A and B are shown apart, each in its own frame.
Chain A
Amino acid sequence: MKAFTLLFFISLPLFAGMNHGGMIMDDSGMIMNHNPDVLPKDCPKISKDVDITIHAGHQYTKGFAGKMFTYDKRDWQVPGCARVNVTFINEDDIRHQFMIHGLPGYMYPKGMFTIEIYGKGQKTASFIVPSRDYTYYIHCEVSQHTEKGMKAQLKVGEGSGDLDSILGLTAALTPDIYPINNTQITWVSLLISFVVGVVFILYLGNILRIKLS
């Protein structure tokens, strides 16, 4: 009996692994926590069906010097209780993910919904968002992909502000520091504006003094 109990507890993680249904896998990729129909507790019904198409790949960093991978669009907004049907298209020959965090844990284990594609290709899956205004974090978890540009946000309702370091949208929380390429013009304009400031105040003062006297 004791042995059985022990065995039961040891094997718990295994059961847990098998439990989180919603895992659809094939040789081209994986969808985790696909949910087209289960409503969050706070949603009486699906408010709207929103279809979004997200392209991922190196090519979309064009115009963003110094970055390596990103999505074609990085800022999305849907109403509360919407069903989001994501078509995720990987344009690179390597693995990319569309991974969203912060969904209710009671219906999305670990609060995540993920589409992962192992190479060039596409997959579609759905998730239903709760009603509250919130900004969800979307990214690709492949090593350093988030950091080098593959990061986005999904605002539900009004959202809860912008996330940091989303290409073209927000600055980094820990930004890189770059030197400034000063020329003589820099220093001359500083000097002239300083002199103008001095002259201006003295001129103003003279007018004032004349009025005072």
Chain B
Amino acid sequence: MSHKRFYYRLIPVVFLLIALAIWQQADFFQRAAGIHLPKGVTPEFKQVLKIDKPCVDLHPEWRLAQNIDGVKMAESRLCEPDNPYDIAAFVLGMNNISMPTLMSTHIAEDALIKSDDLDGDGDPDIIHIKLEVLELNGATPDSPSVFPQYEIAPGIMPGMWAFSPKLRGMSVKNFRSQKPNAILRAPSPVIRVEQGDKVYITLENTHYFPHTIHFHGVDHAFKTSKGGDNDGVPVTGEKAVMPGKTRTYELQPRHAGTMLYHCHVQTDKHLMMGLVGMFVVEENRPDNWVQTFNVGAGHVRYSSAAIKEKYQREYDLHYQSIDKNLAKTIQQSNDTREISKQMHRVYNMSESNENYFLLNGHSFPYTLRDALIIAKPDENIKLRVANTQHSSIAVHIHGHKATITDYDGVEQNPMAQITRDVFHLAAAQRLDLNLQTTNDGLHSYGEGVWLFHDHVETAVANDGMSPGGNIALMVYENMLTEMGLPELRSDALDDLFSNRYYAKKQVLWGKKEAGTFAPNTLQLILFGLLLGIIVGLIFFIGRGLMRAD
């Protein structure tokens, strides 16, 4: 009995110890700062650090003005100029170029046929165009990564689609490369035809989903001459063009201007995936061969006769946005039923966001490679701006005020044209601008490296990491390097071309982030001892009481 009393007396000790343990509880997972804050750490980055060169100078010779098969094209001082052999092919048609030119392109021989000068004015009037549907950064069963790997900005590869001129040969750069060749890219190419041309556009559906083409703002009859679907809308016309099938649309546009074309199957998704491009109808002029495709949009190396009358340069600016969740739907399976379910039924466009913003298929800083506007003083520069985003854009060019000459491909009365510095385009709208580089304090403030970008600030970041999005530069020639980059502070681009920066693992304006506290080991040991003593004591008391009976 006296033994029992001894053990009973120990019970309050247990409660005391428990109270002590609660009071002296160790910080296991977080701790409030005392006098000193944590010393800081460099963020962990698990991927292989990759730092790109601002310009990979692959084809410096392509920048020169040149004459290929009689096509005299302007110089293009960009880091990544368009392949001049492609330009020659797009101007003459595949049927009118030499074999060496053909061999220097990746274009199929039947992709673009130009023939029949119907009105006898020196240029072809029957144009046959063949378009394919390609996928960038899609799933592959042979690798955990995506294929072909098209980076819109360092380390960023959202799943995308695009129309493309019919290709031939490998889609990648070479046998060892995972990267698509230069034609396989976003956005869908700008298509240019001459007013009055008889244009036959064949969609060859090389993709695994049904698609169509709808011509937005381009003069076309509701049905083809044979009574087939000509508006591309599955509800009002024929069923969509199934994978492996083709359909030819017919146009003979009577009105010139900057228009669009896009897929009209599940349009909300397919358009945002990238099946949308600019469609330009050039005014009819004698001997007017137009550059039928402007792959990747941007600088037009071979402008039409009407544009050359008024302008020294011409640029196509295609603004585009991507919802990363939509982009992901084509990256998670190779079962087309599953992809279709994820994209068309699980993904909900009414809950969408826009995370990536592209100008001519790239986001900053890659826009520096091929989306610059290059200028000289006292020029008139034709800008054709199209907004294919869901949200509106408000494009601003630093240091300049440009004049809006056309809205949605319709010329504004010259007396009523507006000169301003923010250009608002709602979804699918187009503006033609005359960007004058006269240093008069109104149209231009002089030479420089001037930023131009959408002023809707969500759009100047890559998934929220700034600077990014559709930022690009207007660079005067005297501030352009040999390699086609703007003259900048030597360290200006250091961080931006690493994949760490856009993975949000690069500390801004410093080396360290706050990080964590080290564990207080002594406190932990004391707490552990205390717990051990409590448990041991309970066991001791329990055993003692049982034995005492």
Contact residues of A with B, CB < 8 Å? Answer: 64-67, 168-172, 175-183, 185-186, 189-202, 205, 209, 212
Contact = CB atoms under 8 A, between A and B. Distances in A.
Contacts of B512: 65
Closest 6 CB pairs of A and B: A197-B532, A193-B528, A201-B536, A181-B516, A198-B536, A175-B32
B519 A180 contact: yes
Contacts of A185: 521
Contact of B539 (A186, A196, A198): A198
Given A176-B32, A199-B532, 10 more contacts: A65-B512, A175-B33, A178-B37, A181-B515, A181-B516, A193-B526, A196-B529, A198-B532, A198-B535, A205-B540
Interface in B501-539: 512, 514-519, 521, 524-537, 539
A178 B29 contact: no
Classify chain B's interface size: 35 or more
A193 B532 contact: yes
Q: Which of A171, A178, A181, A196 has the most CB of B within 10 A?
A: A178
A190 B528 contact: yes
Nearest to B34: A171
Given A169-B35, A193-B525, A194-B532, A180 B30 contact: yes
B314 to A, nearest CB: 47
A201 to B, nearest CB: 3
A180 B29 contact: yes
A202 B35 contact: no
B528 A65 contact: no
27 contacts: A65-B40, A65-B512, A66-B40, A66-B514, A169-B35, A171-B33, A171-B34, A175-B32, A176-B32, A177-B31, A177-B32, A178-B33, A178-B37, A178-B38, A179-B516, A180-B27, A180-B519, A181-B517, A185-B521, A189-B521, A190-B524, A194-B531, A197-B529, A197-B531, A198-B533, A198-B536, A200-B529
Q: Which of B37, B39, B521, B539 has the most CB of A within 10 A?
A: B37
Nearest to B522: A189
A178 B516 contact: yes
Interface of B: 3, 6, 26-40, 512, 514-519, 521, 524-537, 539-540, 544
A202 B536 contact: yes
A190 B536 contact: no
A190 B28 CA distance: 10
A152 B125 CA distance: 83
Contacts of A175: 32-34
A27 B515 CA distance: 43
Given A193-B525, A193-B532, A201-B533, A179 B40 contact: no
Contacts of A197: 528-536
B524 A189 contact: yes
B29 A182 contact: yes
A209 B39 CA distance: 51
Contacts of B540: 201-202, 205
A189 to B, nearest CB: 6
Given A197-B528, A205-B540, A180 B31 contact: yes
A212 B30 contact: no
Contacts of B539: 198, 202
B522 to A, nearest CB: 9
A185 to B, nearest CB: 7
B38 A190 contact: no
Contacts of A66: 37, 40, 514
B6 A212 contact: yes
Given A175-B34, A176-B33, A201 B532 contact: yes
B29 A189 contact: no
A196 B37 CA distance: 33
Given A198-B535, A199-B536, A178 B514 contact: yes
Nearest to A197: B532
B241 to A, nearest CB: 54
B536 A200 contact: yes
Contacts of B528: 189-194, 196-197
Given A189-B525, A198-B535, A201-B540, A180 B35 contact: no
Contacts of A176: 32-33, 37, 514
B32 to A, nearest CB: 4
Nearest to B537: A201
Contacts of B535: 194, 197-198
Q: Which of B36, B525, B532 has the most CB of A within 10 A?
A: B532
A64 B535 CA distance: 43
B530 to A, nearest CB: 7
Nearest to B27: A180
A145 B490 CA distance: 33
Contacts of A196: 528-529, 532
Contact of A200 (B28, B516, B524, B533): B533
Contact of B35 (A171, A178, A183, A194): A171
A4 B292 CA distance: 84
B49 to A, nearest CB: 22
A88 B184 CA distance: 65
B536 A178 contact: no
A201 B539 CA distance: 9
